Amino acid sequence: PQLYKQMAIAADFERVFEVGPVFRAENSNTRRHLCEFTGLDMEMAVNHHYMEIIRVLHSMFTTLFSGLESRCAAELAVIRKQYPSQMPRLTPEPCVLHWEEAMQMLRGAGEEVSGFDDLSPAHERLLGDLVGESRQTDLYFLDRFPAEVRPFYTMPCPDDPRFSNSYDIFLRGEEICSGAQRVHDPGMLTEAISARGVPLQPLKDYIDSMRYGMPPHGGAGIGLERLVFLYLNLDNVRKASMFPRDP
């Protein structure tokens, strides 16, 4: 729903929330991937800074987790008899780690990282351990991803275009969500699409929707099965789906 929720923002919907099926056409046969899952997507206009989105997401997870513990206490007690877990630790305010800080932490732990490649699952888990130990939280935001590893509609950082105004959210050392501020200028967006070698014609309506006054905006997409899998500290995402579709 990525392009469509952005077009809804252009139509003066200040905030858009959507829950629905997502189909992943890739052969990711891992403990955390499904070919079909339920996605929670959100998009919102930004007034001053894209950190507003991060604050909304942090508030959402805080409310969601506390609500699960209070409203589903009996069900959680049954599950935790077989799969022991505790509610993830949270900080009162969003715990935000910049990409450059993350690279320094990994290098300090003896890892070789280039600084511009995406994180491997092993590095994600190690970073989760390091952040958990130093910040006392199981949920954190990794901000300012390298622009090259993000989609064409991601806004580059104004101070250094090698990086972007984008973030992933990690829970217990694994990614549960990707998000970013989006490019809202049609000229800038056209250049970004062309630079990636993506055909412009199929995206004409999407680009044109921004020609009539698109506000700065951004959002995120969350896989709910993966969220359940990590919230309950299970060993495989398939246990978080009644009928898992996998490769």
Residue of 164, 178, 209, 241 with catalytic role: 178
With contact defined as beta carbons under 8 Å apart, do 117 and 149 qualify? yes
Does the annotation mark 14 as catalytic? no
Does the annotation mark 124 as catalytic? no
Does the annotation mark 66 as catalytic? no
With contact defined as beta carbons under 8 Å apart, do 198 and 214 qualify? no
Residue of 166, 225, 226, 241 with catalytic role: 226
Residue of 33, 144, 184, 217 with catalytic role: 33
Does the annotation mark 148 as catalytic? no
Choose among 144, 137, 145, 130: nearest CA to 171: 137
Does the annotation mark 112 as catalytic? no
Does the annotation mark 43 as catalytic? no
Residue of 175, 209, 217, 241 with catalytic role: 175
Q: How far apart are CA 247 and CA 244, in angstroms?
A: 10
Residue of 32, 58, 150, 172 with catalytic role: 32
Residue of 15, 24, 98, 238 with catalytic role: 24
User: Nearest 10 degrees: CA dihedral of 145, 149, 153, 154?
Assistant: 10
Does the annotation mark 33 as catalytic? yes
With contact defined as beta carbons under 8 Å apart, do 193 and 206 qualify? no
Tell me the residue type at 85: S
* Catalytic site positions: 24, 26, 32-33, 175, 178, 226
